[in-house]
């Protein structure tokens, strides 16, 4: 299910249509819906990364890869993603096909990042949002 077709579409604060896909920003998280057939490298993701920095402004946030389309990732760049996203506190992936689930097994060998897979977008949203709210509370308590 695409974000804009979901029951929480009214909670989207901003949507950016970039070359690699659409990025939907909520209060605490961003949902990426990469374009069909896209090849995503860190360089391609740079514009979205800069948007995250601007929008979340040094606060914890979450990321959901809503895999409504088939695309590929430059796995060599996976470590670069993690180094740059220090405030990323929850990463979820929503898969809709058997092939997408199988690709995650391969990707997990390259991503040094705990990710959780979901079959339903709303479940991923609720999990990521909860994790980010807890991380934000922890940051506030330590300051």
Domain ranges for the chain: 3-141
The matching CATH number, chosen from 3.30.750, 2.40.70, 1.10.3470, 3.30.160, for 3-141 is 3.30.750
Q: How far is CA 38 from CA 19, 35, 93, in A?
A: 9, 5, 17
- Percentage of the chain lying above the pLDDT 90 cut: 57
Among the listed ranges 1-5, 21-25, 40-44, 122-126, which one has the minimum average pLDDT value? 40-44
Confidence of residue 110 (pLDDT cuts 50, 70, 90): low
Q: Could you tell me the pTM of the whole model?
A: 0.90
């Amino acid at each position: 299910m695409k974000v804009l077709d979901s029951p929480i579409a009214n909670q989207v604060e901003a949507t950016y249509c970039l070359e690699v896909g659409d990025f939907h920003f909520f209060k605490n998280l961003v949902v990426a819906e990469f374009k069909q057939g896209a090849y995503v490298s860190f360089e391609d993701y740079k514009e979205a990364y800069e948007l995250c920095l601007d929008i979340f402004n040094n606060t914890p946030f979450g990321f959901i890869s809503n895999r409504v389309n088939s695309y590929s990732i430059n796995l060599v760049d996976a470590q670069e993603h993690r180094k740059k996203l220090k405030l990323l506190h929850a990463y979820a992936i929503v898969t809709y096909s058997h092939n997408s689930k199988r690709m995650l097994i391969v990707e997990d060998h390259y991503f040094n990042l705990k990710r959780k897979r979901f079959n339903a977008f709303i479940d991923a949203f609720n999990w990521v949002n909860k994790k980010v709210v807890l991380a934000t509370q922890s940051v506030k308590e330590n300051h």
